A and B are shown apart, each in its own frame.
Chain A
Amino acid sequence: MSDHRAQHADAWSEPTAAYATESPTPADPAGPTAATAPVTPADAADAARLVALGLQPKLLPARDAEYAELLRRYREEPAFARLADAVATGLGLVVLEVSTRAGMAVTAGEDSVFAVRMGDYARRASSDSADRFLHGLAHLAVAAMAFPRPEDLADDAYIGRITVNGVDSFVRQACHHLEERAEEHGDNTDPATDAPGLEEAWRIYARRSSTGATKDARRLAGSTTGIVGKAVAFLTDSGFLQRTGDDAGGAFRTTARYQLQVRDMAGNAAMAELLELGVVPVTDGTATLLPPPGPDDLELVADAGLPFHA
């Protein structure tokens, strides 16, 4: 394989000396390889090939010799690495990590052609804000269940395991807890009829049925397990989850890519949005499940992210 590439490089090296200087990442004097060998179109082709492989998230470097070789080049040749990064950036991709475990982990930038839009994801979601919320929440809940503690999200070796029904009951439990708290306070929390946007978010989830019988024995798409099922199926297609069984509506385990995606992209973005809404207290970053903010939570024990209630 490497011999082959070497031949290519020789064939292209002469007429393309000019290319190298025009490439998006000009050769950096810091890189020793770059100093000795200028970047050639063959290198550009290989860099683009690496990005292309990264665009196939289900592909495992361990099972593809070419992929593994390109990854080795990325790690060992800074110039090649910069070239590959530049190709990715030009395509509107963000490089999360390049390693043998995750491969060339790239994800779509905000306005990239590779980005997933809610309207394409679920047709109802574009018109119905409740459905839109539920689909978003399903993805968040899958991540939260896959990485229940902050340490799990930080630990590269951690593999999360989820089931569709588990995610559903996890969110339901949280909703149930909120409902109980509201009742304890004696507030009448039934939402006002003519202001649907002001309804508390958990009610939408709690109200939706968790499953339903259909004529052809498929999952009811509008039910919460249907929505979570769609989310995990989509994430599986994205190479973020791997199916491990059929128990409890489908069992899955996480991949390295998913951890990266949640840790570096989604979590932060959602966090930023929450902060903008002014609802998250600044924490000292200690690894605990934090009780929800608010003065009325003082009676909860510190670690009770999901307080026990019988």
Chain B
Amino acid sequence: MTSPAYTDNAAPQLSAGPRPAPGPAADEGLSRRLRALACTAPLHDLDVRKANLAGEYTVYAMAEVALAAIDHVTLNMDFDTGADHGQIVTRLLPRVAAQAPRRPAAEHERVARWVLENLINVGSVDRGFRAVYGTFGPDGVYVRRDYDFKLIEEVPGHGGTVYLRATDEAVNVLVGALDTDVTSAQIAAEVKLEVLISRGRLADAQLAAEQARYRTVQYAETLRKTLEATRRNVRAVDWLNAVPDMIAEALDHVADRYRHENAILTNIRKARDEAEEPEHKRRAAELVDIVKDCIRRHTQLQSRLLEAGPLFRAEQDRQAFATPTARTGLDLYGQLVVPLLPLPVEQAIRVTDAFFARGTGLRTPTSVRVGDLVDMLLTPPLEREHLGAEMPEPDLIATPDDSRFSEEQLASAMELLDLEHDAPRRLSGLLAEARRRDAELPYLVALLAVHAASPPVGTAYRQGEQRLLFSVDDGTQLDDPEFGGADLIVGTALLDAAGMAAGRSEAS
């Protein structure tokens, strides 16, 4: 009964004919989702295009590396700088290496670099991505539209360096469901975290803490942009209400978060110290790091906020209290830039051309004599100094070798301590064996064994070591002519290098 033919026959005042689609309002949700979908496309695209690379790269999960890259960049975004290219590549390496452990390190680096460059989209002039999608306009006409977006953008840093920043789109892809107020979303996450901790669900707590940190970063980014606008022109900003309100709000926020996160910190520290299960202990320790980082970011935010007032007063002195001039000038920003930007390019270009033609000044035309031209063409090109000035040869003075033990002795001791992981030995036995080799060696062995009583687990973990020397005191007295104390049990522990690498990437 509701077929189009029926509607056509109906009285014209009842229906204006079949509508091709609902209006733009109903279409908006769809286009928003289309855009959200488009943001993930570059990641999928990586996995599609890896087949085209010269070499066998199918073993690498490129989308995973890309998401990790966005994670690293987001976490390194601070007020002034973002992340460094090299730094991101280095941090990606353990994950890439874990995906294909047998491949050479150079290839791992190549993969990490390729992913990062593709996220920036180095090949295009805009260094961004474009997706095309269609919508129905208010008049029912189907229009294809371009959606331009970036995932990682390059921003200028101090001294001409280039830093990476994750765009809002990237953060949205990463964290998801960020179409909410930053502040309230953060509060929600914190509350969630507290509940999770009180119930002892630390794994979930870490996830929530990391999300809270993403939001903290995003919040700082918003404030940074805001303060920048404040610096530019006193009058452009409402210093009577809006800015003081904002600063007060932000300071409240910092104070609130600081108190909140300190409370969390105390809680987790307690959880860390009381936790029985090593896994819980480790996760709690990581959580402490994350919350500390949050607090550091808040402190940074606060110092920026405190600078805003004096900055305003100095700018006001400069701008507002100068004697007014009799002439009124053209308002370049309000009367030219602002009306110009929303115009279609075709029209805007006429205005910018007019400004360019009369605003660039003059150039005296160069005229070349043939004689000079010949000279110029025959002059060999100047070598560009890639390496800078030559370094003077450093004047080295040989320092006397005053080490107690020689390299050979160290090698001998290490050989002695290179124990099978399932066969630990007593210190007394090791000392006796050492004494047979060299009279000085027992001292070195004893030193190494005592040192191993507190093995550098953290360092080994970070460096991905395979094995670690340790020693334990089981209460037995050492019976030795030269040494006294406990007869330590010295052994070697095997470490799970691959697991640690994975754990490391997740933690950071």
Q: Could you tell me which A residues sit within 8 Å of B by CB distance?
A: 55, 57, 93, 106-108, 110, 112-116, 118, 121, 129-130, 132-133, 135-137, 139-141, 143-145, 147-155, 164-166, 168-171, 173-176, 178, 186-188, 190-194, 196-213, 217, 219, 222-223, 225, 234-235, 238-240, 246-249, 257, 261-263, 265-274, 277, 279-280, 283, 285-293, 301, 303-310
Contact = CB atoms under 8 A, between A and B. Distances in A.
A303 B236 contact: yes
B256 interface: no
Interface in B295-347: 319, 322, 324-325, 327-347
Contacts of A115: 357, 362-363
B345 A193 contact: no
A173 B228 contact: yes
B341 A200 contact: yes
Contacts of B342: 178, 200-202, 292
A132 B351 CA distance: 11
A114 B362 contact: yes
Sort A-B residue pairs by CB-CB distance and give the 10 closest, nearest first: A136-B352, A266-B359, A238-B361, A153-B329, A154-B329, A209-B127, A306-B236, A201-B348, A290-B334, A190-B145
Nearest to A125: B356
A308 B226 contact: yes
Contacts of B333: 144, 148, 289, 305-306
Contacts of B331: 149-150, 287-290, 305
Contacts of A133: 345, 348-349, 352
A134 to B, nearest CB: 8
Given A151-B325, A188-B24, A209-B126, A201 B337 contact: no
Contact of A202 (B325, B341, B356): B341
A305 B334 contact: yes
B143 interface: yes
Interface string B109-134: 00000000000101001111000110
Given A154-B327, A173-B229, 4 more contacts: A139-B359, A145-B232, A153-B330, A201-B348
B243 A308 contact: yes
Contacts of A139: 352, 355-356, 359-360
B144 interface: yes
Contacts of B154: 209-213, 223
Contacts of A174: 337-338, 341
A222 B49 CA distance: 26
Nearest to A146: B332
A44 to B, nearest CB: 20
A231 B235 CA distance: 27
A147 B351 contact: no
Interface string B351-373: 11111111111111100000000
B345 A129 contact: yes
B337 A144 contact: yes
Contact of A57 (B228, B236, B362): B362
B128 A209 contact: yes
B190 interface: no
B237 interface: yes
Contact of A301 (B238, B353, B360): B238
A127 to B, nearest CB: 13
Given A107-B362, A188-B145, A140 B236 contact: no
Given A174-B341, A277-B351, A308-B226, A140 B359 contact: yes
B387 interface: no
Contacts of B255: none
Given A192-B143, A197-B346, A263 B361 contact: no
B199 interface: no
A178 to B, nearest CB: 6
A187 to B, nearest CB: 8
B253 to A, nearest CB: 11
Contact of A219 (B35, B160, B336, B344): B160
A310 B222 contact: yes
Interface string B429-468: 0000000000000000000000000000000000000000
B349 A136 contact: yes
Interface in B129-154: 132-133, 135, 143-148, 150, 153-154
